[in-house]
Amino acid sequence: MVGSAILRKLEKEGFHNIITRTSSELDLRNQADVRAFFEAERPEYIFLAAAKVGGIMANNIYRAEFLNDNLLIQNNVIDSAYRTDAKKLMFLGSSCIYPKLAPQPLQEDSLLTGLLEPTNEPYAIAKIAGIKMCEAYRSQYGSNFISVMPTNLYGPNDNYDLNNSHVLPAMIRKFHEAKEDGKPFVELWGTGSPLREFLHADDLAAACYYLMQNYNEAGFLNVGVGADVTIKHLAEMIQQVVGYEGEIKWNTDKPDGTPRKLMDVSKLHALGWKHTIDLEEGITRTYQDFLEKIETYAV
């Protein structure tokens, strides 16, 4: 989702000499293959968006893979970028790097000030390691490696698989299938009370493009919209966009996750960038993307 959004943005801005590989073409977990790729292609500017990602269920079940795979991916790419004299690298992390009970909104200096949310701790630790790796290579070797931490993302090419997707695309699929099947209710996890912030992937791509040109500092930056909604309100917005007229039932035996994850984006705003896609418009766009890909997710 993120990589394709960045690619669209670069092409829109007139860039043509773009080097890409799919996961089937290059396994970023394989150090030898990654080094050979960098030696052959020698990219100058690198957006490191590749990662093993998922929602609460996937994070909690596949704890070993979420830690190991992400460490391998980022270690191989960051080190190879240094070894082939890349001009600049941008590492993309996640808002889950912050302590579970960090003061809201989440400020960059809250990193490592408390315990992480247990359900996504392995993923968060991997992403924290990526930040610190960029900082270490900058400090020791003078590499211009920067890090950005996006909030919850959604948009075209999202993952709509109910077993390992994030909350927004999972809801889109649940409400759509309930509408198509005439189901009287949709069951959702938790209480609906947690607050979440959502950024459209095209807005993230625009931010990444802007920061690749305008940000060269050691400290990482939050990327978000600076406002959040309850999961309950999100569900109601998606229900309306999809056109489902049944009931929503909340399964309170399932976990809510972190109570709130709102990013402080004052540093990003001070640098001159703000999002442009509001949540309702973004959900509408994403539902259209889902409808175009619906056969892929047919049960």
Q: Which residues are catalytic?
A: 123
Comparing CA positions, the residue from 263, 261, 134, 274 lying closest to residue 204 is 274
* Rounded Cα distance, 239 and 247, in Å: 10
| Residue (of 17, 76, 61, 47) closest to 212 by Cα position | 47
**Is residue 233 a known part of a binding site?**
no
79 is in an annotated binding site: no
The reply to whether 181 sits in an annotated binding site is no
> Is 196 assigned to a binding site?
yes
Asked whether 290 and 172 are in contact (CB, 8 A), the reply is yes
The answer to the question of whether 93 is labelled as a binding residue is yes
Q: Please tell me whether 166 is known to bind a ligand.
A: yes
- The response to whether 106 counts as a known ligand-binding position is no
Q: Annotated binding residue at 101?
A: no
Contacts (Cβ under 8 Å, ≥6 apart) of 224: 95, 150, 151, 197, 199, 262, 263, 265, 268, 275
Structure tokens at 214: 């305008």
Burial of residue 272 (number of CB atoms within 10 Å: 0-12, 13-18, 19+): exposed
70: annotated binding-site residue? no
| 188 marked among binding-site residues | no
Sequence ranges of the binding site: 92-95, 127, 150-153, 166, 174, 189, 196, 256
Sequence ranges of the binding site for substrate: 174, 189, 196, 256
